[in-house]
């Protein structure tokens, strides 16, 4: 069996997944994929070192070998806090107003990608499949090619891909995208982001797109395709049935004392539309004063990227907004918004989802959104809650039986909350059944098999069978 070398910005130790609390979607996804492979996961340790050495820290935990490097403070500032999170992240989420263009960031990004290439090179054997993740490492494949790596290499982008007009505002955008064409497979979450990428390749680079969507460039054929990521369904459902989940569910249910509950779970990020969500809930309360004492919104929002100013700003804005809304609608016996700035273990989270009558998932832009899928998976099929989902998430293209909303329209989201609260049981069940089938069938195993198959150059089911046989052998 070919080994898998997974490369991502951060490496998150598999065992810690449940306990860490504020795990991002990428970490959750990769833990599951790696457990089933004789693979290596390489990336930044998250630690700082005074001077970069490239020393590899190797560990074997829970069937996954991890190899990490430490980075210098300047690397972290320019590459991670800088180009990745102040330039590419906002730009890829259509937030050109928050996008910062600083030459030092670009240089730091290229320097750290080169450091990644140097450090991972000795780990790569001739038959390994190399799978690079996300916007932090777009040029890594081309740097590895420059060092003679001939292996099959793929890139999966977890974020959206922006429209050509927006991307063209990025200095040296052609260089960045050209470097991506050294991968054999480039994966996106949805057809929409794939379409934007192909549009760029055609219009800005003058390359022809073949009928099957592949691109021919410098004598090589590149597969560009959508691979919608899913959740680890079996693991999640098992967790949702645990004592820990049940206790969390009962505790939360008791605390709301018969009131209906809406839940939001998001990293504290401006792309998640939390301000608009709170305002929509406030609008619902204003328009339905009889409901004010009967409904509560629980928002779990573990802080992230706290070194970046726009994240400090969103945190302040939300604190102010929560205080304002609670001040306007609270009574002595209740507050309408419970806003919690911390993470919880996954099993507890599953219990919280199940306790909620509505999953309120309203990002302004999101590559996929795994929270929507987790909410669906955690429901009681006999008495399921209702998912309200932003049409601007990748998940909305699959979860079409959710109540789809435009998160910018405060009135519409407010009305949709009302509709969800009044939805008859039969409709809730009908919608949930379809949503659940999608979440279960297009899970993370399916996603991984499809991507790895494309890396092999085969169709997805073939690779799935092959991997299963290899596992059994
Ligand atoms: C990126 C893309 C794409 C959140 N709070 C807690 C917690 N979480 C977990 C959730 C979920 C994950 O974090 C968040 O995943 P999302 O997909 O919603 O969002 P991002 O972090 O922005 O992820 C996104 C994803 O990558 C995968 O490709 O879907 O579009 O932006 O699993 O449950 N987990 C725990 N405690 C918390 O308090 N344990």
Q: What is the pLDDT of residues 157-207, one digit of tens each?
A: 999 999 999 999 999 999 999 999 999 999 999 999 999 999 999 999 999
For residues 467 and 452, give the distance between their C-alpha atoms in angstroms, rounded to a whole number.
10
Concerning whether 366 is annotated as a catalytic residue, the answer is: yes
Average pLDDT, the chain: 91
Q: Indicate which residue's Cα is closest to atom 7 of ligand 1.
A: 22
For residues 207 and 222, give the distance between their C-alpha atoms in angstroms, rounded to a whole number.
12
Distance between Cα 370 and ligand 1 center (Å): 6
Task: Please return the burial class of 211, using the count of CB atoms within 10 Å of its CB with bins 0-12, 13-18 and 19+.
Answer: exposed
- Is any atom of ligand 1 closer than 6 Å to the C-beta of 29? yes
Residue 272, number of CB atoms within 10 A of its CB: 28
Residue 189, number of CB atoms within 10 A of its CB: 27
Distance between Cα 24 and ligand 1 center (Å): 4
- Whether 205 and 175 have beta carbons less than 8 Å apart is answered as no
Task: Please return the burial class of 344, using the count of CB atoms within 10 Å of its CB with bins 0-12, 13-18 and 19+.
Answer: middle
- Is any atom of ligand 1 closer than 6 Å to the C-beta of 302? yes
Q: Examine the pLDDT at 320 and tell me if it is beyond 60.
A: yes
Which one of the listed residues 75, 357, 366, 443 is annotated catalytic? 366
Q: What is the pLDDT of residues 242-282, one digit of tens each?
A: 999 999 999 999 999 999 999 999 999 999 999 999 999 99
Q: Indicate which residue's Cα is closest to atom 10 of ligand 1.
A: 371
Q: What is the pLDDT of residue 463?
A: 40
For residues 227 and 189, give the distance between their C-alpha atoms in angstroms, rounded to a whole number.
5
Q: Which of 192, 264, 265 to mutate to test the pocket of ligand 1 (most atoms within 8 A of CB)?
A: 265
Distance between Cα 305 and ligand 1 center (Å): 14
Q: What is the mean pLDDT of residues 451-472?
A: 58
Distance between Cα 113 and ligand 1 center (Å): 24
* CA 17 to ligand 1: nearest atom: 39
- Is any atom of ligand 1 closer than 6 Å to the C-beta of 113? no
Q: What is the pLDDT of residue 264?
A: 98
The Cβ-side half-sphere exposure at 166, using a 13 Å CA radius, reads: 20
Q: What is the pLDDT of residues 193-214, one digit of tens each?
A: 999 999 999 999 999 999 988 9
For residues 128 and 132, give the distance between their C-alpha atoms in angstroms, rounded to a whole number.
13
Distance between Cα 6 and ligand 1 center (Å): 19
Per-residue confidence band for 62, with pLDDT thresholds at 50, 70 and 90: confident
Q: Examine the pLDDT at 64 and tell me if it is beyond 70.
A: yes
Residue 288, number of CB atoms within 10 A of its CB: 16
Q: Examine the pLDDT at 471 and tell me if it is beyond 50.
A: no
For residues 473 and 468, give the distance between their C-alpha atoms in angstroms, rounded to a whole number.
9
CA distances from 461 to 32, 213, 468 (A): 19, 20, 10
For residues 249-263, one letter each, b for 16 or more C-beta atoms within 10 angstroms of the residue's C-beta and e for the rest, the string is beebbeebeeebbbb
- Is any atom of ligand 1 closer than 6 Å to the C-beta of 344? yes
Alpha helices, H only, 208-337: 233-240, 243-256, 274-287, 309-329
SS3 of 260, please?
strand
Residue with tokens 């992240």: 89
- Is any atom of ligand 1 closer than 6 Å to the C-beta of 264? no
Q: Which of 264, 370, 376, 378 to mutate to test the pocket of ligand 1 (most atoms within 8 A of CB)?
A: 370
Q: What is the pLDDT of residues 386-413, one digit of tens each?
A: 999 999 999 999 999 999 999 999 999 9
Concerning whether 37 is annotated as a catalytic residue, the answer is: no
Distance between Cα 266 and ligand 1 center (Å): 7
Q: Examine the pLDDT at 437 and tell me if it is beyond 80.
A: yes
Token pair, residue 57, equals 């820290």
Q: Which residues pair with 295 in a beta bridge?
A: 260
Q: Which of 21, 23, 192 to mutate to test the pocket of ligand 1 (most atoms within 8 A of CB)?
A: 23
Token pair, residue 208, equals 């022809």
- Whether 228 and 190 have beta carbons less than 8 Å apart is answered as yes
pLDDT winner (highest mean) among 51-65, 104-118, 448-462: 104-118
Maximal C-alpha separation, the chain: 71
Total residue length of the chain: 473
For the chain, the straight-line distance linking the first and the last C-alpha, in angstroms and rounded, comes to 10
Residue 207, number of CB atoms within 10 A of its CB: 15
* CA 371 to ligand 1: nearest atom: 18
Q: How many helices (H) and strands (E) does the chain have?
A: 18, 15
């Amino acid at each position: 069996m070919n080994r898998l070398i997974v490369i991502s910005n951060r490496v998150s130790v598999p065992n810690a997944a449940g306990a860490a609390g504020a795990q991002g979607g990428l970490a959750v996804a990769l833990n599951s994929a790696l457990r089933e492979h004789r693979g290596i996961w390489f990336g930044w340790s998250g630690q700082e070192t005074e001077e970069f050495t490239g020393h590899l820290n190797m560990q074997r935990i829970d069937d996954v070998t991890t190899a990490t490097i430490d980075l210098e403070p300047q690397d972290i500032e320019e590459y991670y806090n800088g180009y990745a999170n102040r330039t590419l992240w906002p730009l890829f989420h259509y937030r050109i107003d928050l996008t910062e263009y600083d030459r030092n960031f670009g240089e730091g990004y290229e320097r750290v990608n080169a450091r990644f290439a140097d450090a991972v090179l000795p780990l790569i054997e001739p038959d390994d499949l190399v799978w690079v993740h996300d916007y932090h490492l777009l040029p890594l494949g081309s740097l590895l090619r420059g060092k003679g790596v001939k292996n099959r290499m793929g890139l999966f982008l977890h974020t959206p891909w922006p429209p050509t007009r927006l991307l063209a505002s990025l200095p040296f955008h052609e260089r960045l995208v050209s470097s991506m064409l050294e991968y054999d497979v480039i994966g996106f979450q949805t057809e929409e982001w794939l379409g934007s990428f192909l549009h760029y390749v055609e219009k800005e680079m003058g390359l022809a797109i073949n009928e099957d969507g592949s691109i021919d460039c410098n004598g090589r054929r590149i597969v560009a395709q959508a691979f919608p990521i899913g959740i680890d369904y079996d693991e999640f459902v098992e967790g949702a049935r645990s004592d820990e989940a049940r206790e969390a569910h009962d505790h939360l249910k008791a605390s709301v004392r018969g009131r209906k509950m809406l839940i939001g779970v998001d990293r504290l990020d401006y792309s998640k539309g939390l301000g608009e969500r709170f305002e929509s809930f406030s609008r619902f309360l204003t328009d339905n004063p009889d409901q004010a004492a009967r409904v509560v919104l629980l928002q779990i929002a573990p802080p992230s990227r706290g070194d970046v100013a726009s994240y400090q700003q969103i945190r302040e804005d939300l604190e102010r907004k929560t205080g304002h809304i609670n001040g306007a609608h609270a009574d002595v016996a209740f507050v309408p918004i419970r806003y919690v700035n911390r993470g919880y273990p996954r099993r507890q989270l599953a219990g919280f989802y199940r306790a909620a009558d509505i999953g309120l998932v309203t990002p302004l832009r999101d590559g996929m959104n795994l929270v929507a899928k987790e909410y669906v998976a955690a429901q009681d099929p006999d008495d399921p809650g209702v998912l309200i989902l932003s049409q601007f998430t990748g998940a909305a293209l699959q979860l079409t039986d959710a109540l789809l909303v435009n998160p910018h329209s405060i009135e519409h989201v407010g009305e949709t909350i009302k509709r969800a609260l009044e939805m008859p049981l039969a409709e809730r069940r009908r919608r949930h059944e379809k949503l659940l089938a999608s979440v279960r069938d297009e899970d993370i195993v399916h996603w991984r098999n499809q991507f790895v198959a494309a890396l092999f150059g085969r169709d997805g089911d073939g690779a799935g069978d092959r991997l299963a046989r290899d596992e059994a052998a």
